[in-house]
Structure 1
Amino acid sequence: MNAPIRKCIEIAGAALCCLITSCGNDSVVPSKAAASLPANEGREVWSAEIVISAAASTKELLESVASDFSGGLKTTVRVNPGPSSSLANQIIEGAPADLFLCASREWAEKVKEADVAERSVELLTNTLVMIVPKGNPAGIKRPIDLLSSQVKRIALAGENVPAGKYADQVLAKLQLLESLAADNKIARAQDVRGALSFVERGEAEAGIVYSTDVNVAPNVEVVHEFDSALHDEIVYVLVLLKRGAKNPEAISFFEYLQSDGADELYAKAGFRRVGQGKE
């Protein structure tokens, strides 16, 4: 074989080797969490989607925090809002979720008892308020006014839902619950956002919701804020589920939800971190 032909073969062989080598290295890094993993570790369980099942009252908040967290990353955070009680039961029955943010300690404990939780933290708190449609057509100013003949319906979340339980505790301590129930004035919604909607549409003269819910309902107004001594402490518990513990992105989001950056978004939405007093 003459020298020019041999030289051509050598060049072609070298090029082929480079091509094979470059194809063997995965250069796509879906996110910062994936980039930090050792080669091939966790690839079978890693997902670019994080699913967080969350109390209905936190829907807009979590969408905002999720957007801030995933900005610039190829990670999708899917928020699944609903009543804490229903979401907990779904998770216990095997519904796919990486994180769970519920509006009471009770439902976080039930998830732990079912052995589907990895770890948890008490994250946020809120305030219970009485709302009326814009303009307050029934002239309600105090809880006692709910007994007025002008009030036909008061909207509350379901009896098993945290917001509904807190509302029942308040009305019971104010010695109003039995009378309102006897007069068939209580209208139950699936969750606190359902109760909010009843009032916003004018289907109830009053309702009891969280103070943060009012931020997404321009057609209602707050007429009374309940003393926190009238109900159990409102605590939103964040749970990292065992499914999420296998997903590096879910672990990162669990940690981000406890960060200073997230605190700014909580304050903007009217939530407070557990242990922080009102300003």
Structure 2
Amino acid sequence: MITGPLKALLGAILAVIVSTTPALAQPGPLVLAASSLQESLTEAAGRWAAKGHPKPVVSFAASSALARQIGAGAPADLFISADETWMNDIAAKGLIRPGTRSSFLSNRLVLVAPAASRLRLTPASRFPLARALGAGRLAMADPDAVPAGKYAKAALVTYGVWPSVAGKLARAENVRAALALVERGEAPLGIVYATDARASTAVRVVGVFPPSSHPAITYPIATLKAATHPDTERFRRFLLSGEGKAIFRRYGFAPR
């Protein structure tokens, strides 16, 4: 038989468990983010959770695909795009909260090959990219919609080599899918972000595109108008803080 004092103690313990368990089990804000942010944003979400907050749930895909999902009414709290165009798209539809948008990261564009490749190319006017491909294909994100692909096409147009490689593309749904094609040896060359190349041991950088060859690579973040999670703004501010930006810097991004 449970005595009065013991019963009271057990009741108090149960009350604590009941009051704290839901908060710990509750997921954090839902973040839709560009594929190139996988490692860095995952660490940032883990760091935030380690501070005692519900861990953010992060979904990665091409910015174009995420913007379309948001436009179609997909529930989410934060959006981080790999270019301004897709953030502009949802902003024009009234889908972000005023005063929450800022461009907080930048990146570089690189040409990669499988790690065993000895090829070196310097992106410049009329550089021999088509010849280096031989019978192979150039892996890149879809240049018609995905930011990484659009930046890549712009750089190749700048150097006058786009016509020679436009028919030799291995189009990927996002930049990480393009990276994977090179990692598996299915494409001899690919164009990805410098941070993607840094995250892989299966590729090596054979050339770097100067920033002047393409539009500036920027990552805007904004709270969505449909956001409902109470931690959304606090997590957004954490990502923009010195501590948050230091995480992205370690993965090769340049905080702005």
Normalising by the smaller structure, the TM-score range is 0.7 to 0.9
Q: 2:165 aligns with which of 173, 180, 183?
A: 180
Cα offset, 1:250, TM superposition: 1.1
User: Which structure has the greater CA radius of gyration?
Assistant: 1
Unaligned runs of 5+ in 1: 1-11, 33-46, 275-279
Decide whether the 8 Å contact of 2:28 with 2:229 is kept in 1.
Answer: no
Unaligned runs of 5+ in 2: none
* Pairs within 5 Å for 1:44-193: 48-73=27-52, 75-118=54-97, 119-136=100-117, 139-143=119-123, 144-148=127-131, 150-151=133-134, 152-159=136-143, 160-181=145-166, 184-193=167-176
Determine what percentage of the aligned residue pairs are the same residue.
34
Cα offset, 1:28, TM superposition: 3.5
Cα offset, 1:247, TM superposition: 2.4
Q: Deviations over 1:124-147 (max 9, x none)?
A: 00000110111216x342342312
Alignment partners' CA distance in 2, 1:179 and 1:265: 39
Moved over 6 A (4+): 29-32
Q: 1:264 aligns with which of 208, 226, 246?
A: 246
Flag the 1:96–1:140 CA change in 2: closer, same or farther, 3 A: same
Flag the 1:78–1:230 CA change in 2: closer, same or farther, 3 A: same
Alignment partners' CA distance in 1, 2:129 and 2:117: 12
Aligned length: 237
Cα offset, 1:30, TM superposition: 6.4
Alignment partners' CA distance in 1, 2:133 and 2:104: 39
Normalising by structure 1, we get a TM-score of 0.79
Q: Deviations over 1:152-201 (max 9, x none)?
A: 211110120000000000000100001112xx311110010011011111
Alignment partners' CA distance in 1, 2:22 and 2:225: 22
Q: CA RMSD in A?
A: 2.3
SS at match of 2:121: coil
| AA in 2 matched with 1:230 | S
Decide whether the 8 Å contact of 1:30 with 1:73 is kept in 2.
Answer: no
Decide whether the 8 Å contact of 1:56 with 1:191 is kept in 2.
Answer: yes
Normalising by structure 2, we get a TM-score of 0.86
| AA in 2 matched with 1:268 | R
Alignment partners' CA distance in 2, 1:128 and 1:149: 18
